[in-house]
């Protein structure tokens, strides 16, 4: 394990990132801890908490996942994917919004769901599951608004200015939606063990996480057709995260949470994305070697 | 303090000193003569101890005593000399002792984290979490060529015309993000060196340029070798971007004086100019956030 920890740290350094990782064997509880209790900004990883909350409320009968929601073109939370990028009025069910939010990290879909369940419900769910260091303080629209306010005019390129980076509230875990790697593997373990909500709803959550489209982070570390990867990413200037579960055909299943921060503020840094997969693989292999 | 523990403490002190400090009757408690004599001395002692602690804090905060400062190895002698002279002029009132070190950006960040450094001049990009920054200044890089190289005939050298030459660069561990960024920018402008050779000392670099036909990237102000050719790069695609940095919340008049002196010296002797991000930045859909 010490060797694996060293290799994880070396991989982070090689990729030019500071990284925090927690990996757990969901069935034995064996773990690898490389900064598991570091407070981190969740960014879009918090959509996982919202997804679980939504299914918990469906469980208790507080809402019906087939309930229809109107999404007018005006006032949408901005984003590069899904409804956030579309132009025309849309009407769809809560569960389809959940699909878009999870599969392509659709910010508009996420805020429509938040509008239905409320931020407090999300915090109640994470607290109920024992995630004591996980907290949401704003919606995704509000998060992006702090980014715009703190960055000022100048467009995306201004986000490479070191002075601008030091003043972004969105990059300070004390002032934005936050968690720790250990809290996130705890949440994933609960979902995979049917403890977070009823089995049929837990299965729906697992299905949606398995439909997430991005191949460049966690999934990139497991280029094996017989290994299943499900997860949720999160991204902000200098931050790249993914939390997910890796399942092997022999029944081994591992919850992994990786949060990174790059020294380079450039938006396109493939090495920083793939190191999430690289380190997750190192951790999972270390856990598998123990059994 | 509550009465019973206070009485116990007084009794213990009296036993330790072998002197009765208070006279106790059923109705009142009065200071003895010995007690009054010792009280004056005790007050003096307390005042000295507070002064001692305050001095320690001032030294820690860099207000007096020692300012632990660092400069990177790639400044010219003129810049270092100008900085030191200017710092002395700005700060002869409080006159802190300057403990100056030559340290790479990575070494400076490590010492900021371990609280062994008060202020330093760093290279961007680097991980600036927990730091405050002075203005970001840019020193354009040119290329050091062997005298016979075809590119030496040009007044401005396009990076692509360096194709075929090995590149001499500082060791990656000195500033990993900067190292990666330089190679990415070289590639973006059509120059992918067949090999990267690591060197730092001016004579070693000169030896490699003269004998191995390699090229080095360096600002004009640090060129000392008379037998090498320095040319600016067409379009100024590469630069050192510096700023003075210090741990957040630990600025002081001495830190400000050092920051001002460094900024002044870089502008005056190294032709450094304010840096404004100008390159377009296209966020891709996987960025998840949007401005």
Question: How many Å lie between the alpha carbon of A84 and the closest alpha carbon of chain B?
Answer: 10
Out of A157, A234, A268, the one facing B284 most closely (by C-beta) is: A268
Q: Rounded to an integer, what distance in angstroms lies between the CA atom of residue A260 and that of residue A271? A: 12
* Same domain assignment for residues B221 and B165: yes
* B61, pLDDT greater than 80: no
Asked whether residue B94 carries a pLDDT value surpassing 70, the answer given is no
How many domains does chain B contain in total?
3
**Same domain membership, residue B155 and residue B178:** yes
Verify that B249 and B174 share a domain, yes or no: no
Contacting residues of B for A261, CB less than 8 Å apart: 127, 129
Tell me which residue in A18, A237, A266 faces B127 most closely, judged by beta carbons.
A18
Mean pLDDT of chain B: 89
User: Which residue segment(s) compose the domain that B161 sits in?
Assistant: 142-237
pLDDT per position as a tens digit, B107-125: 999 999 999 999 999 999 9
- Find where tokens 């092997």 sit: A248
Provide the shortest C-alpha distance from residue A179 to chain B (in Å): 18
Q: Give the pLDDT mean for B40-50.
A: 83
| pLDDT (mean) for B80-102 | 84
Residue B68 pLDDT class (50, 70, 90 cuts):
very high
Does B244 lie in the same domain as B133?
Answer: yes
Considering the domain architecture, whether residues B232 and B148 belong to the same structural domain is answered as yes
Using CA coordinates, name the residue in chain A closest to B275: A161
Judged against a pLDDT cut of 60, whether residue B21 lies above it is answered with yes
Mean pLDDT of B79-85: 95
DSSP state letter for B129: T
Cβ(A21)–Cβ(A283) below 8 Å: yes
Among B133, B278, B290, the residue with its CB nearest the CB of A144 is: B290
| Residue A110 near residue A47 (C-beta atoms within 8 A) | yes
**Selected residues 270-289 of chain B with any CB under 8 Å from a CB in chain A:** 277-289
Regions in chain A scoring below 50 on pLDDT: none
Residues of B whose CB is below 8 A from A165: 128
Residue B123, SS3 per DSSP: strand
Q: Where in the sequence is the domain holding A283, given as residue range(s)?
A: 2-290
Quick check: is B95 in a domain? Answer: yes
Residue B157 and residue B227 share a domain = yes
Which of A16, A156, A235 lies closest to B177 in CB terms? A16
| 3-state SS record for chain A | CHHHHHHHHHHHHHCCEEEEEEEEECCCCCEEEECCCCCEECHHHHHHHHHHHHHHHHHCCCCCCCCEEEECCCCCCCCCCHHHHCCCCEEEEHHHHHHHHHHCCCHHHHHHHHHHHCHHHHHHHHHHCCCCCCECCCCHHHHHHHHHHHHCCCCHHHHHCHHHHHCCHHHCHHHCCEECHHHHHHHHHHHHCCCCCCHHHHHHHHHHHHCCCCCCCHHHHCCCCCCEEEEEEEEECCEEEEEEEEECCCCCEEEEEEEEEECCCCCCCHHHHHHHHHHHHHHHHHHHHHC
- Chain A residue whose CA is closest to B109: A263
Distance from CA of A197 to the nearest CA of B (A): 28
B289 located within any domain = no
Question: Above 60 in pLDDT, residue B62?
Answer: no
Predicted local distance difference test score (pLDDT) of residue A290: 83
Q: Is the domain of B71 the same as that of B52?
A: no
Mean pLDDT of the B42-67 span = 74
- Compare CB distances from A147 to B133, B286, B289 and report the shortest one's residue: B289
Contacts of B125 in chain A (CB under 8 A): 160, 162, 263-266
Alpha-carbon distances, residue A100 vs A17, A96, A191 (angstroms): 29, 6, 19
Q: For B287, which of A151, A162, A267 is closest by C-beta distance?
A: A267
Q: Note the residue count of chain B.
A: 291
The tokens describing A223, both together, are: 């280029």
Q: Is B249 on the interface with A (CB under 8 A)?
A: no
Shared domain for B167 and B233, answered yes or no, is: yes
Which tops the pLDDT comparison, B204 or B225?
Answer: B204
CATH at A37: 3.40.710.10
Determine the distance in angstroms separating the CA of B152 from the nearest CA of chain A, rounded to an integer. 32
Whether residues A148 and B291 touch (CB distance < 8 A) is answered with: yes
Dihedral through CA B172, CA B174, CA B180, CA B183, nearest 10?
-70
Q: Which residue from B73, B72, B60 is spatially nearest to B116, judged by alpha carbons?
A: B60
What distance in Å separates the CA atoms of residue A83 and residue B230, rounded to the nearest whole number?
Answer: 54
Tell me, yes or no, whether B203 and B222 share the same domain.
yes
Distance CA B232, CA B236 (A): 7
Please indicate whether, in this complex, the C-beta atoms of B128 and A166 are within 8 angstroms of each other: yes
Residue A39 is predicted with a pLDDT of: 98
* CATH number of the CATH domain containing B184: 3.40.190.10
Q: What pLDDT, on the 0 to 100 scale, is given for residue B290?
A: 87
The verdict on a CB contact (< 8 Å) between B177 and A262 is: yes
Would you say residue B1 has pLDDT above 70? no
Q: Please state the rounded mean pLDDT for residues B206-226.
A: 90
CATH of the domain at B15: 1.10.10.10
Residues B132 and B256 in one domain: yes
Give contacts of A104 with chain B, Cβ < 8 Å.
285
Residues in chain A with CB shorter than 8 Å from the CB of B181 are: 264, 266
State the pLDDT confidence band at B93, using cuts at 50, 70 and 90: low
Which burial class, exposed, middle or buried, applies to B9 when counting CB atoms under 10 A from its CB (0-12, 13-18, 19+)? exposed
pLDDT at B60 over 70: no
What is the structure's pLDDT at B95? 58
- A159 vs B281: CB contact, 8 Å cut-off? yes
- Say yes or no: B170 and B121 in one domain: no
Percent above pLDDT 90 for chain B: 61
Instruction: Sort out which chain B residues have CB atoms less than 8 A from A144's CB and list them.
Output: 289-291
Average pLDDT on B204-217 reads: 92
- The residue of chain B with its CA nearest to that of A16 is B177
Could you give the number of structural domains in chain A?
A: 1
Q: Is B125 on the interface with A (CB under 8 A)?
A: yes
Instruction: Find, in chain B, the residue whose alpha carbon is nearest to that of A19.
Output: B127
Q: Does B207 touch chain A (CB under 8 A)?
A: no
- Structure-token pair, residue B60: 């820690």
Q: Which of A106, A177, A264, A276 to mutate to test the interface with B (most CBs of B within 10 A)?
A: A264
Contacts for B262 with CB less than 8 Å, ≥ 6 apart: B71, B83, B121, B134, B244
Show residues of chain A in contact with B239, CB under 8 Å.
none
């Amino acid at each position: 394990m010490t060797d694996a920890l060293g290799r994880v740290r070396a991989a982070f350094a090689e990729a030019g990132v500071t990284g925090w990782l927690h990996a757990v064997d969901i069935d034995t509880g064996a773990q690898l801890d490389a900064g598991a209790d570091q407070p981190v900004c969740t960014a879009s990883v918090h959509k996982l908490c919202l997804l679980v909350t939504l299914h918990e409320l469906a469980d208790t009968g507080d809402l019906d996942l087939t309930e229809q929601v109107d999404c007018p073109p005006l006032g949408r939370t901005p984003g590069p994917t899904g409804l956030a990028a579309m132009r025309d009025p849309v009407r769809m069910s809560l569960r389809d919004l959940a699909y878009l939010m999870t599969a392509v990290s659709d910010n508009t879909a996420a805020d429509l769901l938040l509008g239905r369940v409320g931020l407090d419900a999300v915090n109640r769910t994470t607290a109920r599951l024992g995630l004591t260091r996980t907290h949401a303080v704003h919606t995704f629209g509000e998060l992006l608004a702090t980014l715009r306010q703190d960055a000022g005019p100048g467009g995306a390129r201004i986000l490479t200015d070191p002075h601008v980076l030091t003043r972004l509230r969105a990059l300070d875990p004390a002032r934005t939606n936050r968690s720790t790697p250990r809290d996130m593997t705890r949440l994933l373990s609960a979902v995979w063990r049917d403890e977070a909500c009823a089995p049929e709803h837990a299965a729906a959550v697992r299905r949606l996480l398995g439909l997430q489209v991005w191949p460049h982070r966690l999934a990139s570390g497991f280029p094996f057709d017989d290994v299943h990867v499900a997860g949720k990413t999160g991204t902000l200037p200098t931050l790249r995260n993914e939390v997910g579960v890796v399942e092997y055909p022999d029944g081994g299943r591992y919850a992994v949470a990786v949060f990174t921060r790059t020294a380079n503020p450039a938006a396109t840094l493939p090495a920083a994305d793939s190191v999430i997969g690289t380190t997750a693989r190192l951790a999972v292999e270390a856990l598998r070697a123990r059994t | 303090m509550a009465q019973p523990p206070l009485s116990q403490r007084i009794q213990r002190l009296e036993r330790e000193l072998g002197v009765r400090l208070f006279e106790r009757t059923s109705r009142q408690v009065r200071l003895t003569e010995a007690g009054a004599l010792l009280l004056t001395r005790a007050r003096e002692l307390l005042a000295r101890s507070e002064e001692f602690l305050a001095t320690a804090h001032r030294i820690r905060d860099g207000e007096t005593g020692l300012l632990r400062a660092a400069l990177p190895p790639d400044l010219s002698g003129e810049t270092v000399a100008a900085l030191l002279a200017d710092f002395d002029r700005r700060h002869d009132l409080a006159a802190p002792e300057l403990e100056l070190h030559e340290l790479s950006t990575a070494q400076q960040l490590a010492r900021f984290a371990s609280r062994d450094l008060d202020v330093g001049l760093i290279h961007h990009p680097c991980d600036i979490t927990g730091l405050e920054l002075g203005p970001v200044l840019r020193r354009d890089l040119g290329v050091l060529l062997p005298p016979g190289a075809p590119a030496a005939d040009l007044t401005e050298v396009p990076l692509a015309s360096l194709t075929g030459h090995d590149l001499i660069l500082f060791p990656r561990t000195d500033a990993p993000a900067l190292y990666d960024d330089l190679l990415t920018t070289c590639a973006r402008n059509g120059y992918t060196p067949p090999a990267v050779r690591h060197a730092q000392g001016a004579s070693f670099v000169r030896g490699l340029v003269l004998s191995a036909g390699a090229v080095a990237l360096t600002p004009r102000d640090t060129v000392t070798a008379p037998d090498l050719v320095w040319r600016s790069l067409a379009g100024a695609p590469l630069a050192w971007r510096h700023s003075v940095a210090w741990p957040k919340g630990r600025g002081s008049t001495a830190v400000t004086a050092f920051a001002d002196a460094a900024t002044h010296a870089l502008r005056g002797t190294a032709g450094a100019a304010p840096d404004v991000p100008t390159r377009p930045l296209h966020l891709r859909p996987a960025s998840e956030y949007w401005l």
